[in-house]
Amino acid sequence: MGKKKTEDFEKLQKELNSVKELSVQMENQLKRAVADYHNLEKRVAEGRSELTKWGTGELLAKLLPVLDHLEQALGGASEEERQSGWFKGAELAVKELNQVLQSEGLEQIAVDGQFDPNLHEAVDVREMPPSLDSSGEPKDNKILKVVRKGYTLNGKILRPSAVVVGRNVIASEEKQSGSEANIDQIAASPSAPRNDNGGNT
């Protein structure tokens, strides 16, 4: 009887250990499932946020030409028209519209005088008089005129600034002469192949 009780106890102990292992496995699976669910919730929320931002971006992109036309109309008004009531009302409306757009994350791209292909779109290139920067180097790619304002939405480019870029004559000539000098230097190099008959036969 004592031997049988021992065997029964060992059997029960094994079953208990199996149940404990199964319990740990199920607990781990449950934790993973909960973590996956939270991650899914997070991805869904991020997706909704991106969709909302994208929808806002599409709407704002459609409003920008309207804002352009309003600002152009106000900018082209005469001094007499600027004193009228309709002009002041329109000016206030444009100001309020800009405030609403800014509250949605819209910001005007700064134009500090230097062309940046990441922010600006060159619609025309013109030769500009020779000028040097503070270090004595020829200035190049200087923005001469803003044709259309550019904007970012929440830090991303919504519409680049359309600008006219100046091409410095000095910088252009130096680049060209530098290329010609490199060609002459290569031709005069001792390692360059010779085409005469002065070598040993």
The reply to whether 175 falls in a domain is yes
The reply to whether 182 falls in a domain is yes
Mean pLDDT of the chain: 75
Which residues have CB under 8 Å from 120's CB, separation 6+? Answer: 109, 111, 143, 150, 160, 161, 162, 163, 165
Query: Which domain range does residue 178 map to?
Result: 107-188
* Same domain, yes or no: 93 and 148: no
pLDDT at 108 > cutoff 50: yes
- Provide the pLDDT for residue 17: 80
What CATH number did the domain enclosing 137 receive? 2.30.22.10
* Same domain, yes or no: 72 and 140: no
For residue range 63-105, what is the model confidence (pLDDT) as tens digits? 899 889 888 888 888 888 888 888 888 889 889 988 988 988 8
- Provide the pLDDT for residue 144: 87
- Provide the pLDDT for residue 176: 52
User: Which is higher by pLDDT, 170 or 199?
Assistant: 170
Count up the domains in the chain and report the number: 2
What CATH number did the domain enclosing 96 receive? 3.90.20
